[in-house]
Structure formats: C-alpha cells, structure tokens
Amino acid sequence: MSTAAIRRPALDALLPYAALFGGMVTLAGGTSFAKSLFPMVGAQGTSAYRVGFAALLLLLLWRPWRFPLSRRDLMGVAFYGVATGVMNLCFYMALRTIPLGVALAIEFMGPLSLSLLHARKPSHFLCIGLAAFGLLLLLPLKLGAGALDLVGVAFALAAAVCWALYIVAGKRLGHLHGGRSVALGMSVAALVVVPFGIASAGAALLDPRLMLLGLVVAICSSAVPYSLEMIALKRIPKRTFGVMLSVEPAIGALAGVIVLAELLSPQQWIAIACIVAASAGAILTTTPETAVVEDPEAMERPGG
C-alpha cells in the first residue's frame, strides 16, 4: 500500500475537525471585521447588514415559501426569529463598549445555564461553580479604570438570555427542515433588526461600498461558518462538536487581539478559560437523554 493511500484515511478523519475550526475562526474574524464598521453605520446598522443580508442569502438558498406551514409552526418560527434578531442586536450593541472575547464569554452563559438547568451530578455543580467564578471575574463589580462598561455587560447578558430562548425555540421547530426554518427565522429577525439600523444609520446604509462590506460580514458571520459546520456535523459526534464549540470565546478573544487590538487583562483571560471549561465540562457530563441541544444542525450560528 502506498504512503498516499495510508495518509488518505487520516486526512479524511481530520477534515471535519478542520472545517469546524475554520468555521469558528471565520465567525470570529467576521465579527471582528463587523466591529470595524461601527464608526460608519453604528452597531445597529452593522447588525442590520449582517441579519438582513444573511436572511436574503438563506432565502435564496432554501426558498422556504414553497413549503406551507401550520399556524402553530408559523408562531414558532416567529418566536425563533424574534429571539434571533434581538440576540444579534444585543450582541452587537455589547461590542460597542466591551471586547469581543468578553462579550462571547458572557453570551455563552445563556446556553450553558440552559444545559445545567436540571443539574444533578456533582460534576454539574462544579461546572456551575466554574461558570459563576468566570462571570464574577468579568462583571464590573467596581467602577474605575479597567472596569467593564455596565451597559455593554447588560447587553451581553441580554444576548445570553436570548441565546437560551433561541435554543428553546429551535428545539420546538426540530420537526421542520433545518435550513428552511433557519431561513424563515432569519427573515423574521431581519424584520426586527433592520428598522433599528435604519433609524440609527439612515441613508448611510445605502452606500454601495458599505453595503458590499456588510455583505462580507454576513457571508463571514453566517454563510461560511454555517456551511463549514454542516460539513463537520456529518462526521463529528454531537458531543465532541459541542465541546469544540465551547472554545469559541477564546478564539473570539484572540481575534479581538489580532484584528481589533483588544488587549485583555490576565483576570479576563482566566474568566474566559473558566467559562470555556464549564461549557465543555457540562457537555461531557450530560447524558444524551438529558442534553438540551441535541440537534445543533437545525440552528443558525448565533451572535456575531
């Protein structure tokens, strides 16, 4: 057997993990790039670009209008879309005043809290303690130099709550086709977010150059990560997928350092590490029967 034939299975096994890592890096990079648009169209305008163009791309890809929905499913899609829109808007509003990695870590408290809602094992309570300690290190318990902005933290916490609601809403749509329900949900999200962008940025949103940059944000923050994660999900066990996804705040923090020059304090790095460890530990110690997120394939990537 040739060396190439031996290496092929190893490369095939590595591909889905590389795809997942690439998706996380692209998402972090896209969000960092999005933040660079804030001086021109604001956080609301950037969020409108991201959600609006993502909705258009998903509608063109899945054409969900060809498949009628029941009244109950329409209500479920509306709830899912509102949660998605508010989550994205709050996350981008948080990014105005707090670093990307910190915002991601706080936002991760939403799905983490949901996964530990029915904690029973000692390991679960250890994860809760780690997460609480990490959050305590991040929260601006005292004012002054180096303290995080209170408004930014409040928006990040609101995004965390919306992420938890988004997961609950997504679970209720689990019987529908994942791509079509995401396309409809993102369209509802656009109806929620775009008016805020128009009110904030006005005619600046129609600048062709800025629209092109907004399309890049949507592609990097939605289309590319979502596509790469679909490749990964077909080959990676869901639990392993979730554990790997838990490192996203750390990747976001690194992207913030490299792209936006957002230097974090040692305390903030420790806090992010605690939340990453808590998230990974919660997934590893939760049985499939009690897991909250059993089908991440049916969900669009939140946040940035």
Tell whether the model's pLDDT for residue 166 goes beyond 70. yes
**pLDDT at position 80:** 94
- The single residue listed with the structure tokens 């089908």 is 295
What confidence tier does 184 reach under pLDDT thresholds 50, 70, 90? very high
pLDDT of residue 56: 95
Whether the predicted pLDDT of 302 surpasses 70: no
Q: In Å, what is the CA distance from 156 to each residue of 89, 151, 170, 239, 304?
A: 10, 9, 20, 26, 12
Q: What is the pLDDT of residue 119?
A: 74
Query: What is the mean pLDDT of the segment spanning 272-293?
Result: 77
Residue 88: pLDDT above 60?
yes
pLDDT of residue 144: 61
Per-residue pLDDT for 272 more than 90?
A: yes
Q: Please state which of the ranges 138-142, 196-200, 220-224 shows the lowest mean pLDDT.
A: 138-142
Contact yes or no for 55/181 (Cβ under 8 A): no
Structure confidence at residue 175 (pLDDT): 87
Angle (deg, nearest 10), helices 38-62 and 178-201: 150
Q: Which of 17-26, 143-152, 175-184, 266-275 has the lowest mean pLDDT?
A: 143-152
Q: Provide the pLDDT confidence category of residue 292 given band limits of 50, 70 and 90.
A: very low
pLDDT of residue 223: 80
pLDDT value at position 8? Answer: 65
Q: Quick check: 293 pLDDT over 50?
A: no
